[in-house]
Amino acid sequence: MTEGVRKAFAQRERGEQLATARHEQVIHWCGSLRLAEPSLSEQLADAR
């Protein structure tokens, strides 16, 4: 394998790791929002 090809593979791998980490953060954030939603609607119902 040439040096250039090895570097390209390393960069792609790093990019995929970053994308995966970002994807997990988004899923975690959406999950937190969904968990927070019922209590928010309950607070609104109590305020009425």
pTM for the complete prediction?
Answer: 0.46
**Token pair for residue 8?**
């390209």
The DSSP result for 1-48, as a single string, is --HHHHHHHHHHHHHHHHHHHHHHHHHHHHHHHHHHHHHHHHHHHHH-
What are the pLDDT digits (tens) for 1-48? Answer: 799 999 999 999 998 988 888 888 888 887 887 776 666 667 767 776
pLDDT of residue 40: 62
CA distance 14 to 28: 21
Give me the residue label for tokens 């999950």.
31
CA distance 5 to 18: 20
